[in-house]
Amino acid sequence: MKRISQYMIIVLSGLFLIISSCDKQYELGELTTPTNVTVSHEVVGVDNENPNGDGSGLVEFTATADNAITYSFDFGDGNDIEVAAGGKIVHRYSIPGLVTYDVVVSAVGTGGITSSKSDQVEVLSSFSDPEALEFLTGGDSKSWYWASDLIGHAGMGPVYDDYGALDYTWPNWWQIGAWDADKACMYAAEFVFTKTGNGFTYEQISGPAFIPGTYAGTIGVEGDVCHGEDVAPALYGVKNATFAPSSTKASIDGGYRGTSFKISGGGFMCWWVGASEYDIIEISDNILKVRIEEGEAAAWYHTFTSVKPVQK
């Protein structure tokens, strides 16, 4: 009987806790909508002789609002939306020529409530690399593959100075061997660059996303293996791509081509490290060598070919 009484006490105590928790109300805090949103811009290099800028395509934006905790910018050129907590950001427009863009800035308040403001910017971009465009696209549409038969088709090095002169311009930490068995899953990848009326597009039409161990921990997945769209949702689909003058220290000091390309929508060439801008080290009709920075953690070096290798 004593045991039954103890049991009933435990049950009743549990019911009391459940009822108490149901009665408890949780407050999220006051939700605020940003007001008085303003946005302004300044095209870099504007003067009497260059009313649309110096040709760099750089524009400085400033947004303000009451009750805003951050700001998101849709620059109107097909590139990713970017966030700036302080409301100030610099963006490079890369479509060649004098182009007008419709910009939308959203001020974000507590609870994710937004208020938006539009702006229109006309800016000149005079940078182009027609030879690189021809190599990438073949003048129309062209496929590229991992140069898996070459030693060093993937490599790794520091982003900045490490221990030796110019050691941040080449993969001095690690270079892959030809037909690496541990990374064979990624050799099914095929990448297509297509020329359009005002630039070019990019699409990975087959193969997985390979995520190196150094980056895998950042997104909480297993590293040094291949993953699909469930882990890398930006893996597939046609994405805009644009050229820009390369401004990285490695490109300048290493004597690279001086051209970079950026893939919109978080696009990447199979090897995912959370970045979409590639320095072109070397390009020809059948070889593409690039460098991509994983923040400040590492720089990755990749070599692709337009002639699909066959393992013998």
Per residue in 241-255, pLDDT tens?
A: 999 999 899 999 999
My answer on whether 148 and 82 are in the same domain is no
And the tokens for 219?
């997104």
Same domain, 109 and 146: no
Same domain, 84 and 155: no
Does residue 273 fall inside a structural domain?
Answer: yes
Do 103 and 145 share a domain, yes or no? no
232: in domain: yes
- Domain boundary at 125, 156, 175, which? 125
For residue 24, the 8-state DSSP code is -
Q: Are residues 221 and 89 part of one domain?
A: no
Q: Which domain holds residue 75?
A: 35-125
Does 1 map to a domain? no
- Region at 224 (left for phi over 0; alpha for psi -120 to 50; beta for the rest): left
Show the beta-strand stretches assigned E in the chain: 35-43, 58-66, 70-74, 82-84, 88-92, 97-108, 114-125, 141-146, 154-157, 174-175, 190-196, 199-206, 209-211, 225-227, 239-245, 259-263, 277-283, 287-294, 298-305
In a domain, 295, yes or no: yes
Are residues 154 and 85 located together in one domain of the fold? no
Q: Single out the residue in 105, 125, 145 at which a domain terminates.
A: 125
Confirm whether 255 is domain-assigned: yes
Same domain, 113 and 209: no
Same-domain check for residues 292 and 233: yes
> Measured between alpha carbons, how far is 22 from 19 in angstroms, rounded to an integer?
5
Number of domains in the chain: 2
Is 4 domain-assigned? no
Q: What pLDDT was estimated at residue 1? A: 40
Q: Is residue 142 part of a domain?
A: yes
The answer to whether residue 9 is domain-embedded is: no
The CATH code of the domain that includes 52 is 2.60.40.10
Residue 27: per-residue pLDDT: 52
List the beta bridge partners of residue 121: 101
Query: Do 101 and 222 belong to one domain?
Result: no
Shared domain check, 175 and 60 = no
Which residues of the chain register pLDDT less than 50? 1-26
In this structure, the answer to whether residues 177 and 119 fall within a common structural domain is: no
Among the candidates 95, 125, 155, a domain finishes at 125
The whole-number pLDDT of residue 20 equals: 45
Do 171 and 64 belong together in one domain?
no
